[in-house]
Structure 1
Amino acid sequence: MTAKPTGHYTLKPDGLYLQFDRLFHAPIEEVWYALTNPNAMRAWIGTYTGRPETGGVRFQMTFEGDGAEWQNVSILECAPPHRFLADSGPAPTGIRVFAHLREAAGMTTLTFGQRLSNTADAATMGPGWDYYLDRLMAAKAGRPLPDWETYYPAFADHYKGLHVPAETHG
């Protein structure tokens, strides 16, 4: 697989998101498991402790280097195996992410997004999420994990050049 930048902006009622899509040759339950099980997550991004059904967990991005900090995450919505919405950190500087999954013909589409407070953040967030989502795909398929150097700074210009969609009123 040749890495390429895939993120684009989308407007939602609560703000501007950087959004990504990935297609898995797997049932929706398997992709959901890889996204939400703390042991499965270790293969591509990190892990968490706690019980999601309580509405909160502590998450650590273990691939961010030695000493990655644990973050408190609030789970705002969780509808297995179709979608989740979560916040990490205090508003307005905190991070909000969502994942939506759809299955058809034995394949699952993951749509993932992170809300932006500033479009300048896309130059680092975009390559980061392309990297992590490609790691998820590689881990799920049993392929070697990609190298960060392939993504950053190579993808930064793509994200700096994205056009912010105009709001529509209807």
Structure 2
Amino acid sequence: MMTARPTGHYALKPDGLYLQFDRLFYAPIEDVWYHLTNPTAMQAWVGTYTGSPATGGVRFKMTFEEGDEWQNVSILECAPPHRFLADSGPGPNGLRVFCHLVEGGGMTTLTFGQRLQNPADAATMGPGWDFYLDRLAAARAGHELPVWEQYYPAFAPHYRELSVPDAARH
């Protein structure tokens, strides 16, 4: 079993401040894309969805969140197997996430990000995404899945102490 560590960092994009994560997989890009986008494969690490992504919207539910409800998700961009951008939840306080995949040298790099409404949110969002992305890696490899208690509150100080890029300060 691997030792969990916080990996998120800030990235400033034209539409706001993102908490961003990178993971490297020794696998073809199509395989990693499958685990990110197939509703059955997703169940092993994050959740599932119903509906057809081709319509531009699905309903998504996280499997491991207590009392989590089905959320409407708008798919803003989808370019298999390289990237997607999606919004979840109501209005301006909803969640925006993206995935970018790049393959080279027999490896695929996943860059995942979530836009933050407030940098203080990173103290809870960061440990959560480290947890889910490590679950993705473990599920793909057939390894034991990590447990939440390894991530929170242990990772919160890392995310509280991240420096916000100057251009993102209000």
Normalised by the length of structure 2, the TM-score is: 0.96
Summarize deviations over 1:67-95 as a string: whole Å, max 9, x none: 42000000000000000000001232100
- AA aligned opposite 1:110: L
In 2: Cα distance, 1:166 partner to 1:108 partner: 31
Partner of 2:73: 73
Once residues 68 and 156 of structure 1 are traced to their aligned partners in structure 2, the CA distance between those partners, rounded to angstroms, is: 22
Question: Which residue of the partner structure matches residue 125 of structure 1?
Answer: 125
Which residue identity is paired with 1:159? Y
Q: Give the alignment of 1:11-160 within 5 angstroms.
A: 11-65=12-66, 67-160=67-160
SS in 2 for 1:149: helix
Relative to the length of structure 1, the TM-score reads 0.96
| Distance across 1 between alignment mates of 2:94 and 2:153 | 24
Q: How far 1:32 sits from its partner (Å)? A: 0.1
Aligned residue pairs total 167
**1:28-60, CA deviations, whole angstroms, 9 ceiling, x for partnerless residues?**
000000000000000000000000000000000
Report the secondary structure of 2:31's partner residue. helix
Structure 1 segments unaligned to the other structure (5+ residues):
none
Give the Cα–Cα distance (whole angstroms) in 2 for the partners of residues 14 and 44 of structure 1: 28
- Provide the C-alpha distance between the structure 1 equivalents of 2:80 and 2:39, rounded to a whole number of angstroms: 15
Gaps of 5+ in 2: none
Q: Displaced runs of 4+ in structure 1, greater than 6 A?
A: none
Q: What is the SS of the residue equivalent to 2:30?
A: helix
Identical positions, percent: 78
**RMSD across aligned C-alpha pairs, in angstroms?**
1.0
